[in-house]
Structure 1
Amino acid sequence: MSISLKRLIVGRPLSSDRLGEQMLPKRIALPVFASDPLSSVAYATQEILLVLTLGGLAYLYLAPWAAAAVVVLLAVVVVSYRQVVRAYPSGGGSYAVASRNLGPGAGLVVASALMVDYVMTVAVSVAAGVDNIISAVPALGPYRVAVNLGFVALLTAMNLRGVRESGRLFAVPAYLFIAGVLSMVVIGLLQTAFGRAPVAESAGWQVHAESGEAGLTGLALALLALRAFASGCTALTGVEAISNGVPAFKPPKSRNAATTMAVMGGLSISMFAGITALALIADVRYAEDTCQLVGFPGDCATGSQRTVIAQLAAAVFGGTDTVMFFFIQAATALVLILAANTAFNGFPMLAAILAEHRYLPRQLHTRGDRLAFSNGIIILAVVAGTLIYAFDGSVTRLVQLYILGVFTSFTLSQIGMVRHWNRELESATDPAQRQQFHRSRAINAVGGCLTALVLVVVLATKFTHGAYLVVIAMPVLFAMMRGIRRHYDRVARELQPKPGGIVLPHRTHAVVLVSQLHQPTLRALGYAKVTRPDTLTALTADVSEQEVSALRAEWEERRIPVPLTVMSSPYRDITGPVLEYIARLHREHPHDLIAVYIPEYVVGHWWEHLLHNQSALRLKARLLFQRGVMVTSVPWQLDSSDRAAAREAEAHAGSPGAGSKVG
């Protein structure tokens, strides 16, 4: 990516001392970290109805009970995570809690679950947002996947510009969505109270029950109800993001984070309960396959049904051509798409913590030009985009992979918090403080029991519908992180300094690789000679007898004061003979240092790299594996590289703080 294009997308770099300016006040932190749970209410009710209508309309009476269970669970989880925020203000959320209280293994299980959850948050949120756009503009239906990927790319670019800057942009749609949904709920309930209850466009439709789903009783009915409840639990996704991002809040960090979490919980519960109540009042019918809907207008094989929230907006505000209908659809689509920002903030921060603990590559702990964890942002975008492409941007298919990871992290986090409070109680002597610790432990114990129960329900009801992929992905991630940690530990042991300080080689043998006698070769010979090695040899391979003869003649004509060694190469290979010579030299002098100097061209255009230095790159790659060998590149800058350097210097001169590091 060129400097100018990078600056256009990412913006000018920020110096490290401006990191404090990127801290978030509560009004910005709410949409940045809580847009996922706030926006998931737009499709959580829809998922409950979708499951219950598998058996026709006979089981919709279970919807209020499933929704009530989701509300209770959401309240318990929010209260429980407020304890996490206060106890672990350094961030890391569930990962930090599980690691410190249950051990590194449990921490990695949580980390793998959270990473899967964050990827699915991006995929599901963007896909759900695009569904609402298509509900308002059906002509975009054939371009669903392309529109999804376009929004993922846009979110990636915005997050690369920095959390505070993107947070301001995301705040407006989030607050418009909250205001729009609450207004719709209040107006719809008032209409009902005054005898003019809203009626959905699908209210008169019937639903064909799927084969084997009609007339359920006993255990089968209970499983259907549990599956509906599990689908509705998508309303809890992203609740833990605030606990992961506490360091991004302005001081006092933990108090501000706890307050933001309480506000998020209150808004999520109010909107979810209101949308569910309105959907039942308006007699919304929603099915996965539109051909199940008796009375569906048009061709059910190619047509798509409007989302639940779109049907409610049309029913409450008087049709699909009203300003408020388009306002609700636009706000819902925007906030769902921007809800992925919860993951774009949570995933890179979690990855940075894991990288700091040596469970992920160290590059994920590096901040980019705008002080964001750029590498984590890019990885998240690529994986989420791949899932959207693989599942054709279908919310119904993608959501089956959702929430299993969520409740895995919920459960282990709450169990870890119970152990945390047990340790605190062992050392606490003040009666008031002990009472507070007992109350906190009870909250987390209840939360742990409920989320463990839901985890079992989710696993049992969604396993065959796609959750098995998550069951596979989590152990793979766990094993990968353990492997990375073992690698870093092994490298650290090998790099540990030996007793006795610096060990000097007995002698130094310098070898300059020569293809032809030109300026780069002469510079490499000069550099090698300046180091005053014990022996100095110029080495070439006999690929062409004519070229070698010409090289010998020019070498003697110029009286180069370095012996030229020619290695036989019957198969016209350069790498093999050079490696053979170096290996023989090392066998003859096992305690000596061998310094290999490789002349290289420095070019200014990407296509010039294809024309130069390919042999040098292959040789370096092989020589780096040879013990006792030091490889030195001797650059020769071509004119094109000078021009490229000048352009880069001009671009850098325009950056804030350029040249400020002098002295």
Structure 2
Amino acid sequence: MTDVPKRLLLGQALRSDRLSETLVPKRVALPVFASDPLSSVAYAPGEVLIVLSAAGLSAYHFSPWIAAAVVVLLVTVVASYRQNVRAYPSGGGDYEVAGTNLGRRAGLTVASALLVDYVLTVAVSISSGVENLGAAIPFVVEHKTLCAVAAIGLLTVANLRGVRESGVLFAVPTYLFVAGVFALIAWGAVRSTVLGDEMRAPTADYEIHTQHAGGLAGFALAFLLLRAFSSGCAALTGVEAISNGVPAFRKPKARNAAATLTMMGAIAVTMFCGVIALARITHVKMAENPARNLLIDGEPAGSGYVQHPVIAQVSDAVFGSGSLVSFYLAVTTALVLFLAANTAYNGFPLLGSILAQDRYLPRQLHTRGDRLAFSNGVLLLAGAAAILVAVYDADSTRLVQLYIVGVFVSFTLSQTGMVRHWNRALRAEQDAARRRHMHRSRAISAFGAFFTGVVLIVVLVTKFSHGAWVSVVGMALFYGLMTAIRRHYDHVSEEIAAEESAAAPPRPSRVHSIVLVSRLHKPTLRALVYARMMRPDVLEGLTINVEQGETDRLRHEWDRRGLDIPLTILDSPYREVTRPVIDYVKRLRTEHPRDLVSVYIPEYVVGRWYEQLLHNQSALRLKGRLLFTSGVMVTSVPYQLESSEAARKRARRREEWQAPGSVRRGAVRGPRRTGRQEGAGRERGRPDGT
């Protein structure tokens, strides 16, 4: 039922020794790990203008200065993370840096912040992508929540196929988007400076209504500018993903990761500044509540008005409304925003795997799937992001208020940890040239820690009441959850640890074996034969008297066959099966506490999923109860029905199927067995000869 669709969606499973084939070169790593900061040009400039609109059009002239501050911060962070990937190339990223240099609590704080930020990255990117695509296709924006959830599903399937395949798939749209934005900036610059054309956005003639008729001044203006700056800092999200994804790079890993960081920073700075400048030149207008605050011919735009993103309006002004190039840019922008979530799809599972290895998250997150991706982490991220998108109706403006708190927590603690790292390294280093290099690196990390710390305070102060508190609560919940999981794993490890000086566990006085009997058929006979082979001290059959007629027939058949194993019959006036067995086993344990009770349960092995619903239900309930009884061992004795043969053949065909070139690659496990060999194997595998 599930294997064929799984193979169609994900492809054939990969062997563990092919992990090196999934590593990515720099040209693929850029769209895989840096699509988030590159795509932020689609929404970060708009968020700056939306915040500034609260003070009226006069505040728009601050946008270049805010852009300059964001660029300085981005360059600082990129330079700082180049130090990180070289010093800690194992893939732990900020979590490893903070945990190693600042302690376990700091590491967990960074981890919780990044986990929250990765979920928000998917939600914000997908929601913004839906809004951008809606500028070209109205149906999408009319059903944006549904479209956003569907996009998360498609992205999840692509990432389950593996890092390399998803990277190759995402590389083309990302590079098409970057080429489109550079063409937009270049042609806009030519038209405005060389040709002297007047370019006007669709909203150029609109007015912005504000409650502050005379504008803002003093503290209120400063607070507004800080809030606009914090919104523009959304352009920095995802920078840390490269430091977490260093193991996915080809060798030399650290050098390739550092080079990718530099390319990402240069491209992101150029695009962000270019779009902000063109927005000023084309007189783009944005409002936090466009239905009420955006005035068209002196009247509010109304609830039916759809406010298109800044990049879409600039594109209409530069290339012409409805032009093919504008449509191309709208589509590629939407695609790259959808794919920007891929930064989180690579960062979240990798971080989750490291945390699971350190026993802060369930161990299943450390397991690679069929395509050598951390599939459980991918699915967990997709589920959390889909819930968030549904709760916030895929509204990027509302979601972005929750954004960037976590990433600046990780920035600040990581760079603080790097300062301590360089201090420790300087104490042990004697070479003068290397010490000069370390001093320079420490200065970069110290400046980064100070700058990002200031921004973190600004973000918390300006965004807390606008929704950032949700991120803080989410971080606290993740921190508490990871602490509880680690405490549980540590407690279990202490409980089951074998002491060096401890004697071997005491042997039971006797083994009392019980074979559960419903009818005297082949599965029961096989269980009786197997239980006898174990040579217990006491062996008995046990049945429940639910219907007197059936019980009498069972006893008659038992005596007719001359079985020398006693049959115990338990009455059940309320027709229960599980409780009488449990009570009987507990009574044996009470009467003979040093005895070991071994319960054998015959089970059918079926080949179709719906047959499982018709069989073995009582066995499942019994096992579930008996597992919690000390001194009791539970053994399932399988009996393969004919339908299981079909399932076995299907499984064998999957194992022996040879893809083109599989012999050359050494992927074939061995020669196919003949029908005679298979038949002989089946006969040898039946202990009772039935």
Q: TM range, normalised to the smaller chain?
A: over 0.9
Q: 1:7 corresponds to which residue?
A: 7
Amino acid at match of 1:449: F
Residue in structure 2 matching 1:601, options 589, 600, 604: 604
Q: 1:198 corresponds to which residue?
A: 199
Displacement of 1:554 = 2.0
Query: What is the CA–CA distance in structure 2 between the aligned matches of 1:196 and 1:85, rounded to whole Å?
Result: 46
Q: 2:25 corresponds to which residue?
A: 25
Q: Secondary structure at the match of 2:370?
A: coil
Residue in structure 1 matching 2:617, options 614, 617, 622: 614
Residues 41-64 of structure 1: CA deviation (Å, up to 9, x unaligned):
111000001111123323212212
Q: 2:478 corresponds to which residue?
A: 477
Query: What is the CA–CA distance in structure 1 between the aligned matches of 2:671 and 2:14, rounded to whole Å?
Result: 14
Tell me the TM-score normalized by structure 2.
0.93
RMSD: 1.8
Amino acid at match of 2:306: S
Query: What is the CA–CA distance in structure 2 between the aligned matches of 1:559 and 1:252, rounded to whole Å?
Result: 75
Query: What is the CA–CA distance in structure 2 between the aligned matches of 1:363 and 1:639, rounded to whole Å?
Result: 34
1:571 and 2:581 aligned = no
Q: Secondary structure at the match of 2:143?
A: helix
Residues 589-633 of structure 1: CA deviation (Å, up to 9, x unaligned):
222221111111122222222221111111101111111111111
Displacement of 1:316 = 0.6
Displacement of 1:191 = 1.4
Q: 1:330 corresponds to which residue?
A: 331
Q: Secondary structure at the match of 2:288?
A: coil
Query: What is the CA–CA distance in structure 1 between the aligned matches of 2:214 and 2:120, rounded to whole Å?
Result: 32
Structure 1: gaps spanning 5 or more residues: none
Query: What is the CA–CA distance in structure 1 between the aligned matches of 2:497 and 2:631, rounded to whole Å?
Result: 18
Q: Secondary structure at the match of 1:91?
A: coil
Residues 413-455 of structure 1: CA deviation (Å, up to 9, x unaligned):
0110011001001101111111111111111111011111111
Displacement of 1:588 = 2.3
Q: 1:119 corresponds to which residue?
A: 119
Q: 2:430 corresponds to which residue?
A: 429
Amino acid at match of 2:146: A
Residues 151/660 of structure 1: CA separation in 2 closer, same or farther (3 Å cut): farther
Q: 1:492 corresponds to which residue?
A: 493
Displacement of 1:299 = 6.5
1:161 and 2:161 aligned = yes
Amino acid at match of 2:110: V
Residues 137-191 of structure 1: CA deviation (Å, up to 9, x unaligned):
1232222112111111111111111111111111111111111111111111221
Amino acid at match of 1:372: A
Query: What is the CA–CA distance in structure 2 between the aligned matches of 1:160 and 1:453, rounded to whole Å?
Result: 38
391-400 or 496-505, larger mean C-alpha shift: 496-505
Query: What is the CA–CA distance in structure 1 between the aligned matches of 2:66 and 2:132, rounded to whole Å?
Result: 24
Q: 1:317 corresponds to which residue?
A: 319
Q: Secondary structure at the match of 1:635?
A: strand
Q: Secondary structure at the match of 1:610?
A: helix
Displacement of 1:331 = 1.3
Q: 1:458 corresponds to which residue?
A: 459
Residues 157/81 of structure 1: CA separation in 2 closer, same or farther (3 Å cut): same
Amino acid at match of 1:39: S
Query: What is the CA–CA distance in structure 2 between the aligned matches of 1:520 and 1:223, rounded to whole Å?
Result: 77
Please show how residues 11-410 of structure 1 align to structure 2 within 5 Å.
Answer: 11-194=11-194, 195-209=196-210, 211=211, 215-291=215-291, 292-295=293-296, 300-320=302-322, 322-410=323-411
Amino acid at match of 1:125: S
Query: What is the CA–CA distance in structure 2 between the aligned matches of 1:264 and 1:300, rounded to whole Å?
Result: 40
Query: What is the CA–CA distance in structure 2 between the aligned matches of 1:648 and 1:415, rounded to whole Å?
Result: 53
Residue in structure 2 matching 1:524, options 509, 512, 527: 527
Instruction: Give the conservation status (yes or no) of the 8 Å contact 1:200–1:311.
Output: yes
Query: What is the CA–CA distance in structure 1 between the aligned matches of 2:406 and 2:553, rounded to whole Å?
Result: 68
Amino acid at match of 1:401: L
Instruction: Give the conservation status (yes or no) of the 8 Å contact 2:90–2:246.
Output: yes
Report how many aligned residue pairs link the two structures. 661
Q: Secondary structure at the match of 2:600?
A: strand
Query: What is the CA–CA distance in structure 1 between the aligned matches of 2:101 and 2:381, rounded to whole Å?
Result: 28
Q: Secondary structure at the match of 2:135?
A: helix
Q: 1:639 corresponds to which residue?
A: 642
Query: What is the CA–CA distance in structure 2 between the aligned matches of 1:54 and 1:566, rounded to whole Å?
Result: 82
1:659 and 2:669 aligned = yes
Query: What is the CA–CA distance in structure 2 between the aligned matches of 1:649 and 1:298, rounded to whole Å?
Result: 68
Q: 1:582 corresponds to which residue?
A: 585
Query: What is the CA–CA distance in structure 1 between the aligned matches of 2:596 and 2:496, rounded to whole Å?
Result: 19
Q: Secondary structure at the match of 1:59?
A: helix
Structure 2: gaps spanning 5 or more residues: 673-690
Query: What is the CA–CA distance in structure 2 between the aligned matches of 1:491 and 1:598, rounded to whole Å?
Result: 29
Displacement of 1:239 = 0.3
1:545 and 2:548 aligned = yes
Query: What is the CA–CA distance in structure 2 between the aligned matches of 1:503 and 1:212, rounded to whole Å?
Result: 83
Amino acid at match of 1:647: R
Instruction: Give the conservation status (yes or no) of the 8 Å contact 1:513–1:539.
Output: yes
Query: What is the CA–CA distance in structure 2 between the aligned matches of 1:473 and 1:214, rounded to whole Å?
Result: 39
Amino acid at match of 2:598: A
Amino acid at match of 1:101: N
Instruction: Give the conservation status (yes or no) of the 8 Å contact 1:45–1:272.
Output: yes
Instruction: Give the conservation status (yes or no) of the 8 Å contact 2:56–2:215.
Output: no
Residues 650/299 of structure 1: CA separation in 2 closer, same or farther (3 Å cut): farther
Query: What is the CA–CA distance in structure 2 between the aligned matches of 1:84 and 1:212, rounded to whole Å?
Result: 46
Query: What is the CA–CA distance in structure 2 between the aligned matches of 1:213 and 1:227, rounded to whole Å?
Result: 20
Query: What is the CA–CA distance in structure 2 between the aligned matches of 1:118 and 1:544, rounded to whole Å?
Result: 59
Query: What is the CA–CA distance in structure 2 between the aligned matches of 1:661 and 1:76, rounded to whole Å?
Result: 59
Residues 463/213 of structure 1: CA separation in 2 closer, same or farther (3 Å cut): farther
Over the matched positions of the two proteins, sequence identity in percent amounts to: 56
Residues 658/567 of structure 1: CA separation in 2 closer, same or farther (3 Å cut): farther
Displacement of 1:283 = 0.7
238-247 or 297-306, larger mean C-alpha shift: 297-306
Instruction: Give the conservation status (yes or no) of the 8 Å contact 1:206–1:295.
Output: yes
Q: 1:418 corresponds to which residue?
A: 419
Instruction: Give the conservation status (yes or no) of the 8 Å contact 2:348–2:377.
Output: yes
Displacement of 1:658 = 4.6
Residues 103-133 of structure 1: CA deviation (Å, up to 9, x unaligned):
1111111111111111111111111111111
Displacement of 1:392 = 1.0
Query: What is the CA–CA distance in structure 2 between the aligned matches of 1:443 and 1:508, rounded to whole Å?
Result: 70
Residues 332-361 of structure 1: CA deviation (Å, up to 9, x unaligned):
111111111111111111111011111111
Q: Secondary structure at the match of 1:122?
A: helix
Query: What is the CA–CA distance in structure 1 between the aligned matches of 2:596 and 2:609, rounded to whole Å?
Result: 35
Instruction: Give the conservation status (yes or no) of the 8 Å contact 2:130–2:140.
Output: no
Query: What is the CA–CA distance in structure 2 between the aligned matches of 1:19 and 1:399, rounded to whole Å?
Result: 36
Instruction: Give the conservation status (yes or no) of the 8 Å contact 1:4–1:651.
Output: no
Displacement of 1:197 = 3.8
Instruction: Give the conservation status (yes or no) of the 8 Å contact 1:598–1:634.
Output: yes
Displacement of 1:212 = 6.5
Residues 647/343 of structure 1: CA separation in 2 closer, same or farther (3 Å cut): same
Displacement of 1:213 = 8.7
